[in-house]
Chain A
Amino acid sequence: DQQVKQNSPSLSVQEGRISILNCDYTNSMFDYFLWYKKYPAEGPTFLISISSIKDKNEDGRFTVFLNKSAKHLSLHIVPSQPGDSAVYFCAAIEGSNYKLTFGKGTLLTVNP
């Protein structure tokens, strides 16, 4: 049973436009949500996180929005750059649990 779902396996956008990656979850006990970026044959690197008590967190070109009532979060990248092309994983954690639960990832392609 998937607790974190990324329903779009891939997304393609033009350079300079906005990329919006979506993530849904089912476990209401999740305390933190994180986004990771991954290139092929490399480990994921942390991008941005948000606590369940917030609805928005911003870091440069990256903004994460959390809608707790809908159990939905999204990552916005503005403006998108070709170097942003990678697989993006949404992940969630219960604070007392130590375990990160990942979605299946979304492949973002930013076209020049």
Chain B
Amino acid sequence: DGGITQSPKYLFRKEGQNVTLSCEQNLNHDAMYWYRQDPGQGLRLIYYSQIVNDFQKGDIAEGYSVSREKKESFPLTVTSAQKNPTAFYLCASSATGWEFGYTFGSGTRLTVV
């Protein structure tokens, strides 16, 4: 079955530590995305990648980093420079043709303790 897998589902981090969120897809989609959801804020784009070894900043990229070494994988690192990292993080992928938009993963809830 094709889909997007995000892991872990819940993640706790101490202040000052970096943490990496995993996102893997087997849909053969070229493009992948990271969004962040905060209460009352909707979904905000962090980074996106249209092709392997290339990625662009979204609207709120500060304090985050990504890599795209394989088509199937797009990990997101939340660095200690991110001032308010506690949020729900969503990974998505898309193919060409926009009738169906993105396919989303089930999300990772990151909590800084």
Interface of A toward B, CB cutoff 8 Å: 6, 9, 31-32, 34, 36, 41-46, 49, 51, 89, 91, 93, 95, 98-105
Contacts of B105 in A (CB 8 A): 43
| Interface CB pairs A-B, < 8 A, 19 | A32-B101, A34-B101, A36-B101, A36-B104, A41-B88, A41-B107, A42-B106, A43-B6, A43-B106, A44-B90, A46-B103, A49-B98, A49-B99, A49-B101, A99-B48, A99-B58, A102-B35, A103-B42, A104-B40
Among the listed A6, A46, A51, A105, which residue makes an inter-chain contact with B101, where contact means beta carbons less than 8 Å apart? A46
Residues of B within 8 A of A43 (CB): 4, 6, 90, 92, 104-107
Q: Give chain B residues whose Cβ lies under 8 Å from the Cβ of A98.
A: 31, 48, 50, 94
Contact residues in B for A31 (Cβ distance below 8 Å): 98
Residues of B within 8 A of A103 (CB): 42
B45 to chain A, nearest CB (A): 6
Residues of B at the A interface (CB closer than 8 Å) are: 4, 6, 31, 33, 35, 40-45, 48, 50, 58, 88, 90, 92, 94, 98-107, 109
Chain B, Cβ-Cβ closest to A104? B42
Q: Dominant SS at the B interface?
A: strand
Cα–Cα, bound, A60→B35 (Å): 29
B43–A102 touching, CB < 8 Å: yes
| Cα of A104 to Cα of B42 in the assembled complex, Å | 4
Minimum distance in angstroms from A22 CB to a CB of chain B: 15
A95/B98 in contact, CB under 8 A = yes
A-B residue pairs, 10 tightest by C-beta: A43-B104, A104-B42, A102-B43, A32-B98, A34-B101, A102-B42, A43-B106, A44-B104, A43-B105, A98-B31
Shortest CB distance A41–B (Å): 7
In the bound assembly, the distance between CA atoms of A42 and B58 in angstroms comes to: 22
Q: Which of B41, B50, B88, B101 has a CB less than 8 Å from the CB of A104? A: B41
Q: Do B107 and A42 touch across chains, with their CB atoms under 8 A apart?
A: yes
Chain A residues within 8 Å of B100, by CB: 46, 49
